[in-house]
Amino acid sequence: MKQNYKTGDLLIRVSTGDTALITESIDSQRTTYGPQGPGKRRLYRLLESGRQHWKHDIQVAAEYEHARATDL
């Protein structure tokens, strides 16, 4: 199932436990594929360790998980 993140969501990188904050999201020029049908992919701007970078939705879903109150 596709995960939709929102601006302000706090994420935790699975491999290191570092936190990242979603500061912005926009539609990507790429389209989705698979059984859910055609649609637009998303790009997310993440603030992590004082640096900002863009990642596609699939990459974010693979590398991060939503932070829960018990994680903080």
Which amino acid belongs to residue 57?
D
Taking a C-beta distance cutoff of 8 angstroms, is the pair 58, 1 a contact? Answer: no
What pLDDT was estimated at residue 36?
62
What pLDDT was estimated at residue 32?
66
DSSP code per residue over the chain: ------TT-EEEETTT--EEEEEEEEEEEEE--STT-S-EEEEEEEEETTEEEEEEHHHHHHHEEE--GGG-
Q: What is the pLDDT of residues 12-57, one digit of tens each?
A: 999 999 999 999 999 888 766 665 666 778 999 999 999 999 999 9
10-13 and 19-31 as β-strands: parallel, antiparallel, unpaired? antiparallel
